Amino acid sequence: MPAARSLLFSPEALDAAIEDLAARMLARPPRCGGEAHALVGIHRRGVPLARRIATAMERLSGNPVPVGTLDITQHRDDLGTLEHLPPLLGSEIPFDIDGACVTLCDEVIFTGRSIRAALTELLDFGRPSQVRLAVLVDREGREFPVQPDFSAHRIEISPHQRVSVHFTETDGEDAVYVDTPPPAAP
């Protein structure tokens, strides 16, 4: 029996959520003297999220927003438990982060472990003066003391459920689902 899937965001709701994130980020500017806003997306789905937020911020403010990407694979704390290692996609930050204000972007925050790995990778590129976190979905279940500065949606679901974010760039569609696995056989 396949997992049950319920729609959390339609394509239109996803667009509206990203537009709202961008507006809230512009309304609460970072506190530093570097770039006003620089976004860094965490591979895989944090990258299209960062690019879409940047596009919305540029449209709303008229100012360019630099975007970089982070590959956190080498800093994951679960590499020894994975059956298949994820591919290395590489990090690319085409701007100086020393003294900059950087907002990490990821599609979902759950345990906080990915964000811990992202901070480690980010600091390999320099020393930003401020790092903020923007996520599309904030779900309960932290294992690390990490909280987003900006989130489009907060959801409480059971630990066995999963939030699946789909972007056209990575998945061929725009949607956010909550997947519930079938009950275990007795």
pLDDT at 15: 99
For the chain, the farthest-separated pair of C-alpha atoms sits apart, in whole angstroms, at 60
Structure tokens at 162: 């999963």
Return the structure tokens found at 80: 């020894």
Q: d(Cα 103, Cα 87) in Å, to the nearest integer?
A: 24
* Model pLDDT for residues 102-137, shown as the tens digit of each residue: 999 999 999 999 999 999 999 999 999 999 999 999
- Residue 130 forms part of a structural domain: yes
Q: Is 16 left (phi over 0), alpha (psi -120 to 50) or beta?
A: alpha
Is residue 138 pLDDT above 90, yes or no? yes
pTM above 0.85, yes or no: yes
Higher pLDDT among residues 37 and 55, named by residue: 55
Q: Which two tokens stand for residue 2?
A: 């396949």
In a domain, residue 102? The reply is yes
Is 100 among the domain residues?
A: yes
- Is residue 34, in this structure, part of any structural domain at all? yes
What is the Cα–Cα distance from 121 to 40, expressed in whole angstroms?
11
Q: What Å distances lie between residue 101 and 27, 33, 139, 182, CA to CA?
A: 15, 8, 25, 43
Q: How far apart are the first and last CA of the chain?
A: 14
What are the residues whose beta carbons fall under 8 Å from the beta carbon of 62, sequence distance 6 or more?
Answer: none
Domain that holds residue 116: 10-75+91-156
What mean pLDDT comes out for the span 172-184?
Answer: 94
Please indicate, yes or no, if residue 144 is contained in any of the structural domains.
Answer: yes
pLDDT at 1: 67
**Mean pLDDT, all residues of the chain:** 92
Number of structural domains the chain divides into = 1
Residue 37 has a pLDDT of: 83
The answer as to whether 5 is a domain residue is no
Assigned domain for 135 exists? yes
Residues in the chain: 186
Task: For residue 149, give the CATH number of its domain.
Answer: 3.40.50.2020
Q: What span, in angstroms and rounded, lies between the C-alpha atoms of 55 and 44?
A: 18
Rg of the chain over all Cα atoms, to the nearest angstrom? 17
165 found inside a domain: no
